[in-house]
């Protein structure tokens, strides 16, 4: 964002930033442009940890066959057995068909986890550039994304740097997050639960599912309502009001 000024005669955002805010690119498009991930980042993306847990809960018969195939591969490496085409055992114990379906399922699960890990790096980068309560960001990074290396030189670090260098993109991501924060503030004032509020607010529900920055903003404000002191919550609200003023001055909508 520009350091042009506040709510007086001079605008807070530069002309380029205002143009980007009015264009209002999708969060996934901004991340892809800056980081070249080649992946569609959404609000309802499952982290690698959750993806792995879901797979483990749905092993079933084919999953058991998949694990058997892995075990048999290990036996083959040890020189005990020889696996023929499609995983059939060739040897004195006879031919046992593992099945192409189970084999492809194993491959799909590996790919699913790999895709989740790649998206997690992008989500960490989004968190890195957003102005959200530090306690919330720490909870997210040490919780859902604890497995993501963030030291200099790692993928998430490089992606955060690339995203941060796109000033117009960051301004738009913050707009999306602030829309989420405003929606969560409305929820807090209504006294409704998150589930009830989103069910009654189709536009907010859609943004929560599809827009990763909106979701972070929404969850950050909800977290703050429960974890910050009254003074800290007041300061957070004042910062949000200030940014809303900047958007209004630039004739940019800050609500979904």
Question: Residue 118: pLDDT band by 50, 70, 90 thresholds?
Answer: confident
Residue 104 confidence (pLDDT): 60
Mean pLDDT of 229-241: 96
Mean pLDDT of 80-96: 38
Length of the chain: 256
Structure tokens at 37: 């991930």
Cβ atoms < 10 Å from Cβ of 195: 9
Mean pLDDT of 129-155: 93
Question: Residue 102: pLDDT band by 50, 70, 90 thresholds?
Answer: low
Residue 128 confidence (pLDDT): 96
Q: Tens of pLDDT along 12-25?
A: 999 999 999 999 99
Residue 81 confidence (pLDDT): 34
Distance CA 116, CA 97 (A): 31
Answer yes or no: are the C-beta atoms of 15 and 21 closer than 8 Å: no
Distance CA 34, CA 47 (A): 21
> Mind spelling out the 3-state secondary structure of the chain?
CCCCCCCCCCCCCCHHHHHHHHHCCCHHHHHHHHHCCCCCCCCCCCCHHHHHHHHHHCCHHHHHHHHHHHHHHHHHHCCCCEECHHHCEECCCCCCCCCHHHHHHHHHHHHHHHHHHHHHHHHHHHHHHCCCCHHHHHHHHHCCCCCCCCCCCCHHHHHHHHHHCCHHHHHHHHHHHHHHHHHHHHHHHHCCCHHHHHHHCHHHHHHHHHCHHHHHHHHHHHHHHHHCCHHHHHHHHHHHHHHHHHHHHCCCCCCC
Distance CA 144, CA 51 (A): 11
CA-based angle 243:181:221, to the nearest 5? 120
Mean pLDDT of 236-251: 96
Question: With 80 as the cut, is the pLDDT of residue 90 above it?
Answer: no
Q: Tens of pLDDT along 168-199?
A: 999 999 999 999 999 999 999 999 999 999 99
Q: Tens of pLDDT along 208-220?
A: 999 999 999 999 9
Q: Tens of pLDDT along 122-131?
A: 999 999 999 9
Indicate the pTM of the whole model.
0.78
Which residue from 242, 235, 190, 170 is spatially nearest to 254, judged by alpha carbons?
242
Residue 164 confidence (pLDDT): 95
Q: Tens of pLDDT along 23-78?
A: 999 999 999 998 887 668 999 988 888 888 888 776 554 444 444 444 333 333 33
- Contacts of 3-10 with C-beta under 8 Å, sequence gap 24+, read 6/242, 6/245, 6/246, 7/245, 7/246, 7/249
């Amino acid at each position: 964002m520009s350091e042009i000024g506040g709510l007086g005669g001079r605008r807070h955002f530069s002309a380029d930033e205002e143009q980007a805010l009015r264009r209002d690119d999708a969060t996934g498009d901004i991340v892809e442009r800056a980081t070249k991930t080649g992946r569609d980042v959404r609000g309802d993306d499952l982290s690698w940890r959750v993806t792995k847990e879901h797979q483990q809960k749905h092993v079933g018969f084919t999953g058991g066959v998949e694990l058997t195939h892995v075990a048999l591969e290990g036996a083959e490496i040890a020189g005990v057995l020889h696996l023929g085409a499609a995983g059939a055992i060739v040897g004195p114990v006879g031919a046992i068909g593992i099945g192409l379906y189970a084999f492809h399922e194993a491959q799909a699960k590996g790919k699913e986890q790999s895709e989740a890990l790649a998206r997690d790096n992008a989500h960490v980068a989004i968190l890195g550039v957003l102005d959200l309560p530090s306690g919330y960001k720490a909870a997210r990074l040490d919780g859902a994304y604890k497995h993501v290396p963030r030291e200099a030189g790692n993928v998430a670090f490089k992606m955060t740097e690339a995203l941060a260098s796109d000033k117009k993109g960051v301004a738009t991501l913050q707009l999306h997050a602030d829309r989420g924060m405003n929606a969560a503030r409305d929820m807090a004032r209504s006294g409704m639960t998150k589930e009830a509020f989103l069910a009654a607010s189709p536009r907010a529900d859609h943004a929560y599912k599809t827009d990763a920055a909106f979701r972070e903003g929404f969850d950050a404000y909800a977290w703050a309502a429960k974890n910050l002191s009254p003074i800290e919550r007041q300061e957070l609200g004042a910062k949000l009001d200030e940014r809303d003023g900047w958007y209004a001055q630039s004739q940019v909508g800050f609500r979904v």
